[in-house]
Amino acid sequence: MKNLKDILEYAGIKPTIERLSILRYLDSKHDHPTAAMIFNEIETKIPTISKTTVYNSLKLFIDNGIVTPLYITGSEVRYDFATKPHHHFFCEKCGKIYDLIIDCPYMKKTKIQGHQIKQRHGYFRGICKNCLEKEEKAQS
């Protein structure tokens, strides 16, 4: 278990209760939620929290490299607790985003064809195995 308070303090961010609970949610679920999903979840624990606080905290986390924004769906931002860089798979049917742990020779490169790499996003789209199974069952 990572010490989330340390992560925030190390980044120079004051570890408020709101910020810690947002980070704890991202760390425990890993389901790549939207800001609205995060707000709904945190609101059950901290009823006084505002949407603005959630958005501002997420922006602060992104600016400090603690959270990675994912633009995979093309219509909304989803958030990922920035651990090791990994690829993502987006299911067009159920909207779930899965972590894909696959070997990619470019994942650790800091320069590719002379360009300096700062961020890496590997996106795949399709139909996830759960949705495929459901389809198969419906057909049989």
Q: Residues 59, 93, 109, 121: which binds Zn ion (CB under 5 A)?
A: 93
The span from the CA of 12 to the CA of 29, in Å, is: 25
Cβ-based nearer residue to Zn ion, 38 or 128 = 128
72 is a contact residue toward Zn ion (CB under 5 A): no
43 is a contact residue toward Zn ion (CB under 5 A): no
What DSSP string describes 86-98? -EEEEETTT--EE
Q: How many residues bind Zn ion (CB under 5 A)?
A: 7
Would you state the structure tokens that stand for residue 64, as one six-digit string? 């400090």
Q: Residues 34, 43, 131, 134: which binds Zn ion (CB under 5 A)?
A: 131
Using the rule CB under 5 A, give the single segment among 45-53, 55-63, 78-86, 117-125 that binds Zn ion.
Answer: 78-86
| DSSP assignment letter at 105 | T
Q: Residues 15, 64, 99, 134: which binds Zn ion (CB under 5 A)?
A: 99
Cβ-based nearer residue to Zn ion, 46 or 85 = 85
Q: Strand pairing partners for 67?
A: 81
Dihedral over alpha carbons 13, 17, 23, 24 (to 10 degrees): 140
CB of 87 to Zn ion, least distance (A): 8
Residue burial 95-131, b: 16+ Cβ < 10 Å; e: rest: eebbeeeeeeeeeeeeeeeeeeeeeeeeeeeeebeee
91 is a contact residue toward Zn ion (CB under 5 A): yes
Q: Which residues lie near Zn ion (CB under 5 A)? A: 80, 91, 93-94, 99, 128, 131
